[in-house]
Structure 1
Amino acid sequence: MSPLIEITDPHILDGSAILIDVRGGADAHDRYLAGHLPKAVFAGLDADLASHPENAANGGRHPLPALEDFAATLARWGVMPDSHIIVYDDKAAAMGGARLWWMLRSIGHTNVQVINGGLKAATDAGIQLTTGEYQNAAVGTYPIAAEYTNTVDIEEVKKAAKDDNRVVIDVREGVRYQGITEPLDLVAGHIPGAVNLFYSTSLSPEGKYLTSKALETLYKDTIGDVKPQNVIVHCGSGVTACHTLLGMEHAGITGPKLYVGSWSEWSRRDLPIATTEQ
């Protein structure tokens, strides 16, 4: 199954799939209530797709929720292991849509797709949005997975960033990577040895992913001959990195891993920090 689905696909509106609208930010729920695809349930990036540690130095700003909590959330949304899930957000998958896709894939739920272009693609196509809350009938349980797969911890990143046979990709904007500015975390800069590939370079001016061929060229220019399973992707807090992981999957590059803690964890651990491009 392709990780992306076009807004013209009938499965989006014919009721055969579970639609999930992911929003981030303090006004996430208000934006959802003001307009979403028909029969789309609300998912909050902070409420549903992350846990809330007291100290971001241990796991970053958006650590993954406990597996039992995520399973309970899926059951509340009416998701079963064989459900076809279609996900979108209002930021071209960069603020939660791809994160939910990645989380589902990570626990073994493969029947999930992300709307290419997100909510904007829907409004550009003239689809009438609906307001208010929508909820599916909850199911009893969703099986709890043994683990989130394809993740690495901070110790693994330390090793990988020094290994010529591995690549650590930082998908934040160039000015954050270079240490010129840092609007969200405590210290500006990047992990020494990490390379920069701003996540939005994978998008067209309309906010859709580039073709799979164009994405393959883009990513392979960055990772070179390194095997996909030796690639680690991170961002500020493990959210927009999933946007790049989704793009890689669409390009046929399977196996890269997510550093969930990302810069928000690394920058709080009194570790080496670089401020110039490698």
Structure 2
Amino acid sequence: MSGRNGLISTAELADILGQADLRLFDCTTYLEPAPEGAGQPYLTVPGRLTFEAGHIPGADFLDLQGEFSDPDIELRFMMPDVAYLEAAFGRHGVSNGSRVVVLYSIGSPMWATRFWWMLKSLGFESVAVLDGGLDKWKAEGRPLETGPAKGHGPATFTAKPKPGFFVDKHETLAATSEQGTIVVNALGPQFHKGLEPSRYGRPGRVPGSCNVSAATLLDPKTKAFIPLAEAEAKFKAQGITRDKRVVAYCGGGISATIDLFLLHQLGYDKLTLYDGSMGEWAKDASLPIETG
């Protein structure tokens, strides 16, 4: 793995495919428009069909909403409790002895970086995101496998949870007036400015937050991450420096993990995710919102 443990190239993955202690996962979810009156901004569709149509040999499939999110909260993708996640990862063969867990997704790495963030918060360090995901793997003509996941035998995973990876709306509101903390929005600039209707509720942003859109941190052709020097320039242009604590958010706590992943690669270590993000903030009339 290259960089600060966390990024693996397609060539590096090809070299370790088939190793017994590798756990490789397709994490793709699709967001589809919700019908009127559904009560949700979008429908979450696990990427099983595209997985079965073609996946990296030996990969298993992880259903983020169906198996790795809190089932008792109306908001999508919320972090469940530790015991729930220990059991879920264990069902997929992840143990404390797994040498490396490699995560990938289709179209955007955000589903993989979300799982990376979750595993890091549980104290699991041997985890990497595939640069360029399945898109780059396929573009390079590398082998694919079809059909349902074969999976791995169940394992025992014991988490060592780390504090500070997630904050709620109250902590996020407090962060807006904390010296030394910067809140960053990973949504596109038009949503940051409140120029377009929001599927989450009130248009706009967390007051005082800056904008580093996750989409600008990716190469649109290869789906790989942009060079670290380019990413750092984008963060610094918004006043994000290593001495500051960063609270990142987006719509549902997914694309913001792209920002967090690159900040981690750059050596920033005071990193936090507002898990509820605009899915929660925009609906809560007691919370301030800013536009323009």
CA change 1:23–1:174 in 2 (3 A) is: same
CA change 1:224–1:235 in 2 (3 A) is: closer
Measure how far apart 1:52 and its partner are: 3.1
TM score, norm. by length of structure 2: 0.86
Measure how far apart 1:148 and its partner are: 5.9
Measure how far apart 1:159 and its partner are: 1.3
3-state DSSP of counterpart to 1:87 = strand
Counterpart of 1:35 (choices 54, 72, 78) is: 54
Equivalent residues, number? 270
2:140 and 2:104 map into 1 onto residues whose CA distance is 15
Counterpart in 2 of 1:47? 66
Contact 1:67 1:147 survives alignment (8 Å): no
Measure how far apart 1:149 and its partner are: 4.2
Contact 1:204 1:210 survives alignment (8 Å): yes
Paired AA for residue 246 in structure 1? F
Counterpart of 1:80 (choices 81, 95, 119) is: 95
Counterpart of 2:228 (choices 212, 224, 241) is: 212
CA change 1:203–1:234 in 2 (3 A) is: same
Counterpart of 2:28 (choices 6, 18, 23) is: 23
Contact 1:67 1:145 survives alignment (8 Å): no
Measure how far apart 1:222 and its partner are: 2.0
Larger relative contact order (Cα-Cα within 8 Å, sequence gap ≥ 6): 1
3-state DSSP of counterpart to 2:283 = coil
CA change 1:225–1:21 in 2 (3 A) is: closer
CA change 1:169–1:109 in 2 (3 A) is: same
1:202 aligns with 2:217: yes
Contact 1:212 1:252 survives alignment (8 Å): no
The 10-residue stretch of structure 1 (267-276 or 134-143) with the greater mean CA deviation from structure 2: 134-143
2:131 and 2:242 map into 1 onto residues whose CA distance is 28
Q: Structure 1 vs Structure 2: percent identity of aligned residues? A: 26
Contact 1:12 1:19 survives alignment (8 Å): no
TM score, norm. by length of structure 1: 0.90
2:163 and 2:49 map into 1 onto residues whose CA distance is 30
Counterpart in 1 of 2:37? none
TM-superposition CA deviations, 1:14-68 (whole Å, max 9, x none): 3241101001122521111111111100011211332234543xxxx32112211
3-state DSSP of counterpart to 2:62 = strand
Measure how far apart 1:248 and its partner are: 1.1
1:198 and 1:253 map into 2 onto residues whose CA distance is 18
Contact 2:26 2:59 survives alignment (8 Å): yes
2:167 and 2:73 map into 1 onto residues whose CA distance is 21
3-state DSSP of counterpart to 2:247 = strand
3-state DSSP of counterpart to 1:191 = coil
The 10-residue stretch of structure 1 (144-153 or 251-260) with the greater mean CA deviation from structure 2: 144-153
Counterpart in 2 of 1:223? 239
2:16 and 2:104 map into 1 onto residues whose CA distance is 11
2:269 and 2:15 map into 1 onto residues whose CA distance is 25
1:253 aligns with 2:258: no
3-state DSSP of counterpart to 2:102 = strand
Counterpart in 2 of 1:181? 196
Contact 1:161 1:192 survives alignment (8 Å): yes
3-state DSSP of counterpart to 2:27 = strand
Is there any run of 5+ residues in structure 2 with no aligned partner, and where? 31-44
Paired AA for residue 14 in structure 1? G
Is there any run of 5+ residues in structure 1 with no aligned partner, and where? none
Contact 1:165 1:226 survives alignment (8 Å): no
1:4 aligns with 2:4: no
Contact 1:39 1:135 survives alignment (8 Å): yes
2:49 and 2:164 map into 1 onto residues whose CA distance is 33
2:217 and 2:29 map into 1 onto residues whose CA distance is 21
Counterpart in 1 of 2:36? none
Measure how far apart 1:112 and its partner are: 0.5
3-state DSSP of counterpart to 1:113 = strand
Paired AA for residue 3 in structure 1? G
The 5 A counterparts of 1:136-151 are 136-146=151-161, 149-151=164-166
3-state DSSP of counterpart to 1:167 = strand
TM-superposition CA deviations, 1:250-271 (whole Å, max 9, x none): 2222221111111111112111
